């Protein structure tokens, strides 16, 4: 049987995240509740450090390299000039982006998008966490229905 730590690590892995860790855990014998809990915890573990440290890392890189400074100046000129209304709608867009369970649209990408568009920590964290829950439900509920019909779980 697969360990709880393994499910936590799968949930924390970019591109795999909770939306695939949860169904995998259920197929490995975890109860749906346990699978959801461990997959979500794993998925959300990297979110707080990413949201907190992407900006300081970009500033440090910009301070030490003119190449990075030019890149970040170019990037932020195109993305961070929309003001307060953008933060409101940008947070909704961030939620929807993370909630759609497609490759490259998970919590890791959501953290990068929040950083690039300058969405502050509290609303970004809430949008990413809520989007992660929705994406996990979208991928897990059909699996539970199929396995119940087939008598597998």
**Mean pLDDT for the chain?**
87
**pLDDT tens-digit readout, 4-61:** 999 999 999 998 899 889 989 988 999 988 999 999 999 999 999 999 998 888 889 8
**pLDDT tens-digit readout, 76-85:** 776 666 655 5
What are 22's two structure tokens?
Answer: 């949860």
Q: Is the pTM of this model over 0.85?
A: no
Predicted local confidence at residue 79, as pLDDT? 66
What's the domain range around 26? 4-150
**Are the C-beta atoms of 58 and 90 separated by less than 8 Å?**
no
Number of domains in the chain: 1
CB crowding 46-70: b at 16 or more within 10 Å, else e:
bbeebbeeeeeebeeebeeeeebee
């Amino acid at each position: 049987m697969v360990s709880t730590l393994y499910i936590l690590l799968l949930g924390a892995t970019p591109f795999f995240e909770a939306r695939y860790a949860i169904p995998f855990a259920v197929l490995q014998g975890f109860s749906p509740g346990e699978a959801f809990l461990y997959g979500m915890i794993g998925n959300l573990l990297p979110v707080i450090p990413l949201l907190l440290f992407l900006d300081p890392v970009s500033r440090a890189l910009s301070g030490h390299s003119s190449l990075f400074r030019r890149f970040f100046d170019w990037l932020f000129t195109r993305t961070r000039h929309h003001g307060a209304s953008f933060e409101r709608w940008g947070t909704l867009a961030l939620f929807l982006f993370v909630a759609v369970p497609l490759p490259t649209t998970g919590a890791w990408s959501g953290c990068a998008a929040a950083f690039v568009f300058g969405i502050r920590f509290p609303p970004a964290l809430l949008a990413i966490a809520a989007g992660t829950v929705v994406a996990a439900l979208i991928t897990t509920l059909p699996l539970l229905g199929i396995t119940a019909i087939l008598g597998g779980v």
